[in-house]
Structure 1
Amino acid sequence: MTDSTSSDSARLDELEMRVVHQDQTIEDLNAAITAQWKVIDRLERQVARLGERVAETEQAVSEAAPANTPPPHY
């Protein structure tokens, strides 16, 4: 009987250690995902600002008089 009890105790100890390791892995993954979402949000805002700047620049260029057009009497 003690053999069975010690076997059960060893199995229980191993399962508890697995749970602890899995909990730590979950916490590590959660921290990594949270950090990645912060970077993604920052990059999305940066891309949006750059898109606005490109649109503004394109609009300013299209409104400006072309520099290399020949004069009207040409």
Structure 2
Amino acid sequence: MSSTEEPATSRIEDLEIMVAHQAQTIEELSEELRRAFEMIERMQRSLKGLGERFEALEAVATPKAEATKPPHY
């Protein structure tokens, strides 16, 4: 190789290495994002279940308003 080709070849190799590292990073971030979305979905299901349980307990615990007047009227 001539001396003018060596810097270009070196730069190309450096760029190829950089692209390979970026591709690996993208794969890792994609996997992390997938796991985060799965966790969010599980948390949303749990929150919905807790909300339903809370509403059921609230319905049982809330005293009903009396329809008749108290005896002192």
After TM superposition, the score normalised by the length of structure 2 is 0.83
- Indicate the percent of aligned positions where both proteins have the same amino acid: 33
Counterpart amino acid of 1:5? E
* Two-structure CA RMSD over aligned residues (Å): 1.7
For 1:1-74, list aligned pairs within 5 A. Answer: 2-62=2-62
- Count of aligned positions: 66
1:67: which partner in 2?
A: none
1:68: which partner in 2?
A: none
Structure 1 runs (4+) deviating above 3 angstroms are none
Structure with greater proportional helix content: 1
Which ranges of structure 1 fall in alignment gaps of 5 or more residues? 65-71
| DSSP 3-state at the match of 1:3 | coil
Which ranges of structure 2 fall in alignment gaps of 5 or more residues? 65-70
